[in-house]
Chains A and B, each alone.
Chain A
Amino acid sequence: MATKELISTVTVGAGGSSSINFASIPQDGTDLFLTLNLRGDATTITSRFNADSGSNYTYVRFLGTGSAVSPSSGTSTGMYNAAGCVNVGWTESTFSNVTIYIPNYSLTGVKYASVDSVTEQNSSLAYVEISGHKWSGTSAINQFTVLLNAGGNFAEGSTASLYKITKGSGGASVA
């Protein structure tokens, strides 16, 4: 039977933090799942695998602003999400709602991620985003880091939780 378990939760303390980092990710799982609940100095976040900051990430996304919508794609130095974090200048005490699914993280080969991310404020502008990402690094993922794309800090109270999903023993593997 498949098992799923919380690996760890990071909560940003007083004074804020420039990044949220999950290191030494156990390698005995199949997929990773993350929830991010963020507030900080900007809305766009960058997520990186194994501290890789090279131009080794490709994305496709559909982004809404509450009025306009725009599809886009490109290459980047991390998994960019414009709707990753609520700006501290927006409605107070409001945080983003982001879920990330990363299948087959412990295998060698390119990695893929699916991200649903939203921000909110009591104003017409808020970012709503569906995106897919590819990391061309072929190593197993042992580290996951989130930071603000333009620099700055995540605010106190921002949280990130990392979960490990392990496949069950039943079923045949198909080549």
Chain B
Amino acid sequence: MLVGNEAYDPGIYDLISTTLITSNTASVTFNVSAFAGTYKHLQIRAIAAGSSSFNDNIDLTFNGDTGSNYSYHALYGDASSARGENSTSRANIAAVVPVSGISSYANQFSASVIDILDPYSTSKNTTVKTLTTRVQNGFYIGLHTGAWFNTSAINSITLTGRAYSIASGSRFSIYGLKG
């Protein structure tokens, strides 16, 4: 580093990569096996919209597994009430609530932060925690959790629009956290 420059900030969260969606797409995949020796935990930060005019979800799967090997629980609310929800032996984790109908709600996106602890452990199922919120096309704020019942190390993370595509302009960034 040259004298006079600011000190290098290693950060807790290191940005690994960002995917900016430039045309509607069915899914986004992060390949993360290369970071097993560097990071203890992973975090995905997303702003997202759906391509339809209907509410939708963006679901998370690991290692290409779309079998009934996941569970999901949520604590969520809108502007008037709060609810709990659960689903077991399912094919994915409901991780992100996008703002739907990008054509109706131009430039409107939801915001989500997905925490994945100890994904490279080979003795643990992976538990995911998401704080996700939407303020258009129905207010929504939720704390979601999900588990993948497989102790394999995570090598890929895929986010898929459930019924519709992920809209252009959505952005997904993945970070690593040392531990």
Contacts and interface: CB of A to CB of B under 8 A. Distances in A.
Interface of A: 1-6, 9, 33, 35, 37, 62-69, 86, 91, 93-97, 99, 116, 118-126, 128-130, 157, 159, 161, 163, 165
B147 A65 contact: no
A65 B143 CA distance: 12
Contacts, number: 138
Interface in B149-176: 149, 151
Interface string B63-98: 000000001011101000011111011000000000
B88 A62 contact: no
B117 A91 contact: no
Interface residues of B, number: 43
Contact of B179 (A9, A63, A96, A123): A9
Nearest to A9: B179
B118 A99 contact: no
Contacts of A120: 71, 73, 125, 127, 145-147
Given A116-B129, A122-B71, 6 more contacts: A6-B178, A69-B75, A97-B117, A116-B143, A122-B89, A161-B41
A33 B117 CA distance: 14
A131 to B, nearest CB: 11
B9 to A, nearest CB: 5
Contacts of B121: 157
Given A4-B11, A35-B41, A62-B75, A93 B84 contact: no
A95 B124 contact: yes
A63 B131 contact: no
B47 to A, nearest CB: 19
